[in-house]
Structure 1
Amino acid sequence: MSQEPLTPGDRHFGKFDRNLIYLLVTVAKQLEADMPTLLEGTRLNPTTYRILGSCAIYGAVSISDLGRIMLIDRAQISRTAAQLEQDGLVRFAEHPHNKRKKMVTLTDAGRAELDHAAPRVTERREGLEAMLGKERLADLLDALNTISDVLPR
């Protein structure tokens, strides 16, 4: 008798069903794996989308701060931001108080590319939020922020 293979995320994946770390990692990977589909038709990948999104939220942001916000190595952020600059989606400026720091800001083309990608990403987020409902969403966000606050960065 043949059994259907189990896959991560299946409700009956055994002992992992209630393992918090396993579930958090699995959900994060599922969301990350889905991002290329949401970004189809744009010039963006998940990392470039997050960089542009961070610039949209924070305005001018340093490479170091982007690395801390996104939890990505500074060298990777630097390379990716340099490519975004070549593509005309961001521009670099000097930090007002530290000449060694580069500040990254969105260009109009970067804003347009982010705006082009945003509806599908927003639709996915809103769908997940609606599925959870307001109370469960608030509880989940509180719990995730509590966990984030105690983990090393």
Structure 2
Amino acid sequence: MQTKKQELEAKLRKIHELEQRLTFRLHILSKQIDQQAAEMLRDAPINLSAYRFMTTLESLGESSIADMARFITMDRALASRTAVELERNGFVEFRKDPSNRRKKLVALTGEGEAFLARIMPRFEARRARLRDHLGEDMFATLHACLDRLEGAIRD
């Protein structure tokens, strides 16, 4: 019969094993990053999904909902709802695709660009803190490792 101490040690070993699983750690880290980002948007009229949608749209330029959903790995229905909500806030607008009249494109408005300009410094400061904490070499190595992991997942 195991003693309480042995039972506790066995549980701790199992927890340690769990914490060593790469995908588990990445999942936990992702959730923590999302929680932190949501807190950074607490006083903003948008949520984290909308922020990611807007920053992606800023980078890609005018895009279809399908392309946006694919690029940020977001469910197409969620991407559509997010775009409609952002339109209600005046941050994006819909346009007809000149090459395909049935297809709608979404683009940032001037108000959306101004909002991102106001909110982005928060996220840039977080990136700078992370880079400073890791140091330039480790930060670059982290990105290289993430690139390789993405490649391994695609294979």
Q: The TM-score by the shorter chain falls in which range?
A: 0.7 to 0.9
Instruction: Name the SS for the 1:91 alignment partner.
Output: strand
Q: Does 1:63 align with 2:65?
A: yes
What code does the residue aligned with 1:35 have?
A
- Do 1:42 and 1:113's aligned partners in 2 also have CA atoms closer than 8 Å? no
Compute the RMSD of aligned alpha carbons.
1.6
Cα distance in 2, alignment partners of residues 101 and 140 from structure 1: 39
1:82 to 81, 84, 88: 84
Between Structure 1 and Structure 2, the one with more helix by share is 2
Q: Deviations over 1:112-149 (max 9, x none)?
A: 11122111111111111111111111111111122223
Q: Deviations over 1:62-81 (max 9, x none)?
A: 10111111111101110110
Q: Does 1:30 align with 2:32?
A: yes
Cα distance in 2, alignment partners of residues 49 and 36 from structure 1: 10
Cα distance in 2, alignment partners of residues 112 and 53 from structure 1: 12
Tell me what 1:91 maps to. 93
- TM-score, structure 2 length as denominator? 0.84
What code does the residue aligned with 1:44 have?
I
Q: Which has the higher contact order (CA 8 A, sep 6+)?
A: 1
Tell me what 1:105 maps to. 107
Tell me what 1:54 maps to. 56
Paired residues in the alignment total 141
Tell me what 1:134 maps to. 136
- TM-score, structure 1 length as denominator? 0.85
What code does the residue aligned with 1:138 have?
A
Segments of 5+ residues of structure 2 without an aligned counterpart are: 5-14
Cα distance in 1, alignment partners of residues 93 and 151 from structure 2: 32
Tell me what 1:6 maps to. none
What code does the residue aligned with 1:85 have?
E
- Do 1:43 and 1:113's aligned partners in 2 also have CA atoms closer than 8 Å? no
Cα deviation for residue 56 of structure 1 reads 0.9
How much identity, in percent, do the aligned residues show?
Answer: 33
Task: Flag as ranges the 4+ runs of structure 1 deviating above 6 A.
Answer: none
What code does the residue aligned with 1:86 have?
R
What code does the residue aligned with 1:148 have?
E
Higher Rg of the two aligned structures: 2
Q: Deviations over 1:85-136 (max 9, x none)?
A: 1211101112232223221111011111112211111111111111111111
User: In terms of mean alpha carbon deviation, does 89-98 or 64-73 score higher?
Assistant: 89-98
